[in-house]
Amino acid sequence: MDIYDRLKVKKLLNARGTLTTLGGSTMPPEVLEAMLEASRAYVNIDELLRKAGERIAELIGVDGAFITSGAAAALAVSAAACMAGTNPANIRRLPDSAGMRNEIIMLKCHRFGFDQAVRMAGARIVEAGLPERTLPEELEAALSEHTAAFLYLAEAETAGGSLPLPQITGLMNQRDIPVIVDAAVELYLNQDFEREMRGWEQTVEVFSKQLSGVAGVKVRRGFPSPPGIQPVGIPRAYVELDRSRTGVSSEQVRKELQEGDPGIEADLHGDCLVLNPQLLTMKEAKAVARRLVAILQP
């Protein structure tokens, strides 16, 4: 019995991905070991943040880095820095940003649930363009003397109304306006990329083989993923249901998966149930496939 059993919290098989609402991801042993090691002493946290940031910047080849408690916190801190700068009075006054440059520009098609984080810091979001297209002139028209920064959602770069990041940074650099890029859902892979990819492809193949024989079910491999399915660089199984033959919709199947024990989390894209192999062991993937077959062949 583990801590979740003792708390009577139902565990999940995660066929969606590294989502905040599902706990992000499990941690590898080296991360757990580092956390345990760090827990054995007291240090000055400001010094720790500074030194750890310097080390991370060195490792990834950037000018500087700052560790936050998560992606939403990083957005809030970034917005605060762009508005208040190094002025101690302004820093202490936030989220009251009156009198500061406090507008953050976003493309309309880049709006997402967590952009609330920059508003928590006192910023006001100014939208540019339409969901299906954005003209460079619309972006320029959104800029003003109150503009503090531009917020770009990397996940939405391929959306219909998006503009390429280099075009955004070029325009903002001309005006000395910082660009905040939210790349929280982007996939950063270690040197074992080929092994990881082979494992994901094998898992997708398991889904395809076990589900393709079910009447009214069609499974296809999707790669890269469309906007809204994150992260994009992972192959997935897209399960299409012919409701006239299966008697259930993708939404109903998803709900049944969630209600099981363990629960199973899967994504939806249009009429498709989407299965992400990223965080599943092969044993878990086979359990997901068996559950789906049981639901679709009662």
- Could you say which of 137, 160, 182 is where a domain stops? 182
CATH of the domain at 122: 3.40.640.10
Please state the pTM of the whole predicted model.
Answer: 0.82
- Could you say which of 182, 209, 242 is where a domain stops? 182
Per-residue confidence (pLDDT) for residue 146, from 0 to 100: 97
The number of C-alpha atoms within 13 Å of 7 and in the hemisphere containing its C-beta is 6
Q: Look at residue 205 and tell me whether its pLDDT is greater than 90.
A: yes
Q: Are 237 and 208 in contact (CB under 8 A)?
A: yes
The boundaries of the domain holding residue 276 are 193-296
The three-state secondary structure class of 42 is coil
pLDDT (mean) for 149-166: 90
- Tell me: do 75 and 172 sit in the same domain: yes
- Tell me: do 101 and 162 sit in the same domain: yes
Over residues 272-291, the pLDDT tens digits come to: 999 999 999 999 999 999 99
Q: Are 100 and 109 in contact (CB under 8 A)?
A: no
Per-residue confidence (pLDDT) for residue 60, from 0 to 100: 87
Enter the DSSP assignment of 185. Answer: T
Task: Give the pair of three-digit tokens for residue 248.
Answer: 């259930």
Q: Residue count of the chain, please give it.
A: 298
Residue 108 falls inside a structural domain? yes
- Tell me: do 115 and 171 sit in the same domain: yes
Residue 10 falls inside a structural domain? no
